[in-house]
Amino acid sequence: MSEPLLSVRGLSVVYDVDPPVEAVKNVTLELRRGEILGLAGESGCGKTTLAYGVQRLLRAPAVISGGSVTFHDASGVDVDINALDVDAMQRFRWDKVSMVFQGAMNALNPVATIGSQLEDVFEIHRPDMTRRQRRAEAEELLEIVKVGRQRIRSFPHELSGGMRQRVMIAMALALRPQLMVMDEPTTALDVLVQREILTQISQLRHEFGFSVIFITHDLPLLLEISDRIAIMREGEIVELASAEKIWTDPQNDYTKTLLSSFPRLTGARGVLTR
């Protein structure tokens, strides 16, 4: 078993409205180094809120009401993420942990070239790099994600949805983080492009050794790409096991319901249970 990279202990997030809404309830989980951990559940169950809470990206009225998040850095230093000040947290993000946001392929600046947006990451986080070095790194990233360095001067509207998503993955990969959080990274992509993106994520994970938290409501997709899967319902983790065990021997009734909600290509017609 590989060593842990991220330890979440009793994390709770509340939306401070009237009445308060408990979006994440006492979640405890551990992410291993080099692992793809799938996070599945229906819309509104708290998946994205949990991911934002782990990285302290929550905006008011959401607040962390309890628990701890510890990042076990490759240097051997344990980082209490909740204890970092604003400046330290800004340095930590993208350098140690990066995120591909939901709908990210539409988040690129429409009036800036792909190259300039990639170079901005280095200009902010690697200020000692020269302009030539930033451009060379940006071109290399485009090659890594199979967009091609010739697209360095392209604008987002000149790229397909799949290519824009690859650019967002390149941006998240730019500083070689140890953890990449991906929130619905293949939403709105057709099945062939989705397949290409998933294959590339797996290849990049093996090549660079980072861990992935992959968030989606698409459980069959997670069964294919994940090492382990956490099933979330109403803010709680109701089951956490290997992808194989989730598929062959689910323990929680809600997990069984999720699995039965996806139609099969063969076999008798079933009945959707709730």
Domain chopping of the chain, boundaries: 4-102+182-260
Q: For 4-102+182-260, CATH number?
A: 3.40.50.300
> Over 80: is that where the pLDDT of 142 sits?
yes
CA distances from 263 to 132, 220, 271 (A): 52, 10, 10
Cα–Cα distance, 15 to 90 (Å, whole number): 23
Question: pLDDT confidence of 273, banded at 50, 70, 90?
Answer: low
pLDDT digits 0-9 by tens, 20-31:
999 999 999 999
Mean pLDDT for 130-154 is 95
Q: What tokens appear for 250 in the block?
A: 């689910």
Per-residue confidence (pLDDT) for residue 267, from 0 to 100 = 57
Mean pLDDT of the chain: 91
Mean pLDDT for 262-273 is 60
Question: pLDDT confidence of 198, banded at 50, 70, 90?
Answer: confident
pTM more than 0.95: no
> Over 60: is that where the pLDDT of 272 sits?
no
Mean pLDDT for 79-92 is 93
Per-residue confidence (pLDDT) for residue 271, from 0 to 100 = 61
Per-residue confidence (pLDDT) for residue 11, from 0 to 100 = 97
Query: Starting from the edge strand earliest in sequence, which strands make up the sheet with 4-15, in order?
Result: 21-32, 4-15, 62-72, 78-80
